[in-house]
Amino acid sequence: MKFFLDTADVDEIRQWNETGLLDGVTTNPSLILKSGRDIKEVLKEICDLVDGDVSGEVAATDYDTMLSEGRALAGIASNICIKLPITMDGVRACKTLVDEGFKTNMTLCFSAPQALLVAKAGATYVSPFIGRLDDSGIDGMELIEEVRAIYDNYDFDTKILAASIRSLNHVKDCAIAGADVATLPPSTIEKLVKHPLTDAGLAAFLADWEKTGQKI
């Protein structure tokens, strides 16, 4: 499973990119607002840092303006992935942009029928929002499992990009269910390496090593 970082903070992206574990980046209007920067400027800087796909989201809701904004975003760098909402205009814009050779990420997916529709439109990625479904009393992981089954049934090329991930269990369950990508906030990806038994074991080993008086 690939890991994308869900942020528009260039310093955080640079830090994680240096680990060699980062496969891409996702942004959205809320993250751009948090960055306090111009969208084209920050996306260009991110694309220069990261080799993988970088999602930049359109702000329009109508087909024609979505196309205009999507093409403008795609012009920033070759690894831009145009992020579109799953509406009828968004799906239509997805099909047009895919036919023009652009990558697309269909966002705000909350049902398997939505995922089926965007796959038929040729989307590069679909982004099911796990945490927001959990918040509404629906098991978000069931959606990942349903979409995986549908895509496997028909050999769709669209990749499942699990989004709105809030916990380590979300990451684990997405990997088990077969999500292609998980996009994670920095606070969550940092927790992946943590376990109290690892810390305790390392402390014991270091204490014993100190007693040997040796150096390597």
- pLDDT single digits (tens) 173-197: 999 999 999 999 999 998 999 999 9
For residues 164-168, average pLDDT: 95
For residue 198, the domain's CATH number is 3.20.20.70
For residues 56-78, average pLDDT: 98
Per the CB < 8 A criterion, the answer to whether 43 and 76 are in contact is yes
Whole-structure pTM value? 0.95
Reported as a single tens digit per residue, the pLDDT across 13-65 is 999 999 999 999 999 999 999 999 999 999 999 999 999 999 999 999 999 99
Residue type, 192: L
Number of domains composing the chain: 1
For residues 113-120, average pLDDT: 98
Q: Where are the alpha helices (DSSP H) in 10-125?
A: 10-17, 29-35, 39-49, 63-74, 88-99, 112-120
Domain containing 191 equals 2-212
Helix-helix angle 39-49:63-74, to 10 degrees:
50
* Residue tagged 């479904």 (tokens): 133
Query: What rounded mean pLDDT belongs to the chain?
Result: 97
Phi-psi region of 7 (alpha: psi -120 to 50; beta: other; left: phi over 0): beta
Q: What is the pLDDT of residue 4?
A: 98
Per the annotation, the verdict on 83 as an active-site residue is yes
Catalytic residue among 2, 34, 40, 83: 83
Q: What is the pLDDT of residue 66?
A: 98
Measured between alpha carbons, how far is 83 from 85 in angstroms, rounded to an integer? 7
